[in-house]
Structure 1
Amino acid sequence: MTIIHRLRDDRGSLSLEAVILFPVLIMVLLLVVAFGRIGSASNAVDTAARNAARAASLERTGGSASTAGSQVARSVLTEQGLQCTATSVSVSTGGFAAPIGEPASTTATVTCTVRLSDIGLPGLPGAKTMTSSFTSSIDSYRQRG
């Protein structure tokens, strides 16, 4: 074989291409998993906040509204399969002090920290905190305590 013929020989180039592209494909796959987990967690936290605010607005007192909102939010996060490393649920109850006939509302804020460290993608933070708030009206003509 001549030197020119050896330089044009393609044997082994597929292996080299595979060695170069395989890590890139793995990183792209891990990135898709990370964005999927973040999107799913964001949706679950939004749903929990919405349902918590609605459950709180159906109660008659601030104390029962806070309890109902917290229970519903945690239940939704569990049903959605979201494993939060830290969870916080806050329900505003100031609207329950408004006199009958005046518009009032309650707001539920749900915070969940989602672990990302198990994905193993270099440069990805170990956790991401998701927060969502939702406001629901309290019936103006329903007795409040």
Structure 2
Amino acid sequence: MDPDQHRDQGSIAIEAAILVPAILLFLLLVIAAGRVETAKGVVDAAARDAARSASLARTQNAAAQAAGDSAAATLNQEGVACRGQQSIQVAFAPATQNQAGSVQVTVSCVVGLGDLTVPGLPGSTTMTSSFTSVIDLYRAS
């Protein structure tokens, strides 16, 4: 038996023991990044839905209420749980002579990283999204 051949015995097991955890960690990071981006997309959808609901309301108070209800419904439906209360800001741009008014809704949600990635992971991230919708001039009264 060649002495060099004897030295190489078991080297594959050592290489696998080093590479497999690194590959698994990389895959977990990719999954975590994907879940964070998916949650960001849900916050974007909540802002879009809230702005559309606010644009259909007849008064500013009704618009703020409709925006809050719509954003909360979208976040709940998609399973994104905000820590504490989500923040919803509604701003109106008045109509001018040549164009209709608009409403801009900003939704902010503090999401725990443990909810998105690995359960028990500490920390949180704030996701914020804004959307503007033209106020529907021909909405039903």
Structure-1-length-normalised TM-score:
0.79
Task: State how 1:10-21 maps to structure 2 within 5 Å.
Answer: 10-21=8-19
Identity %: 45
Q: Does 1:92 align with 2:86?
A: no
Cα distance change on mapping 1:55 and 1:142 into 2, 3 Å: closer
Of 10-19 and 68-77, deviating more is: 10-19
Larger radius of gyration: 1
Distance 1:68 1:47 in 2: 15
| 1:26 to partner: Cα distance | 2.1
| 1:79 to partner: Cα distance | 0.7
Of 26-35 and 109-118, deviating more is: 109-118
Q: CA RMSD in A?
A: 2.9
- What secondary structure is seen at the aligned counterpart in 2 of 1:112? strand
Q: Does 1:116 align with 2:102?
A: no
- The aligned counterpart of 1:137 is 134
Task: Give the number of aligned pairs.
Answer: 137
Task: State how 1:1-145 maps to structure 2 within 5 Å.
Answer: 5-6=3-4, 9-86=7-84, 87-93=86-92, 95=94, 103-117=100-114, 119=117, 126-140=123-137
Do the aligned residues in 2 keep the contact of 1:45 with 1:112 (CA within 8 Å)? yes
Gaps of 5+ in 1: none
Structure-2-length-normalised TM-score:
0.81
Gaps of 5+ in 2: none
Distance 1:143 1:62 in 2: 16
